[in-house]
Structure 1
């Protein structure tokens, strides 16, 4: 049980830290804004995605948030990571994908161990 909690919190902490950092950078880094323009995305999409990352990260890390809400955050991050991988390959910039694959794996581990820790308690 203790091992499961440690695995859960490490995986969740990694995903949360990266999404908080990414979400903040979407607002603070002009290079990211320029990257969105280069990809042909409208600027409001960057703002929307940055806000979603911040909200999702909080949903994952706060223990009092209901599991149903956490599941939506997991789904949103999963879609985001898969879309980012596809986008990087589509523009010929595969060098950014290993970190995204790592985060996708950490997200899956976090989700699996969330359920393991919650069913063990019940």
Structure 2
């Protein structure tokens, strides 16, 4: 069980660090306005994404947050990473940029799977 918790917190730590860093970067780096415009995204979306990332980080790191809220955070981060990949590729950015997105997405999946494992929740199978 200790190994599972270590794996969970390493994967979760990677996701939390990346999402926190990008939220702070979106907030305080003036160049990000141009980056969002380059991707064809409106300026208000940068603020919305920043708030959502901060809330998602809090949901993942605060232990007493309800399970359903944590699931929303995982889902939101997955959509964010997939959307970032699509936005960058659609705007002509290098495919090499997607190495990072893929690594973070894999970390997110590992965190999610181990969250279920260490909390004894088990992933339910859909009923037929």
Q: What band does the TM-score fall into relative to the shorter chain?
A: over 0.9
Moved more, 74-83 or 58-67: 58-67
Does the 8 Å contact 2:39/2:88 carry over to 1?
no
Aligned-residue CA RMSD in angstroms?
Answer: 1.1
What CA deviation, in whole Å up to 9, does each residue of 1:79-98 have, x standing for no partner? 01001111111112123211
Higher helix share: 1
Structure 1: which 4+ aligned runs deviate by more than 4 Å? none
Superposition deviation, residue 38 in structure 1: 2.2
**Residue in structure 2 matched with residue 12 of structure 1 by the alignment:** 12
Secondary structure of the residue that 1:109 maps to in structure 2? helix
Provide structure 2 residue ranges, at least 5 long, that are not aligned to the other structure: 122-128
Normalised TM-score (structure 1): 0.94
Query: Within 5 Å, which residues of 2 pair with 1:44-63?
Result: 44-63=44-63
Normalised TM-score (structure 2): 0.90
1-structure distance, mates of 2:66, 2:23: 22
2-structure distance, mates of 1:52, 1:68: 16
The count of corresponding residues between Structure 1 and Structure 2 is 120
**Residue in structure 2 matched with residue 27 of structure 1 by the alignment:** 27
1-structure distance, mates of 2:18, 2:79: 16
What CA deviation, in whole Å up to 9, does each residue of 1:35-62 have, x standing for no partner? 1122221111010001111110111111
Secondary structure of the residue that 2:63 maps to in structure 1? coil
2-structure distance, mates of 1:102, 1:118: 24
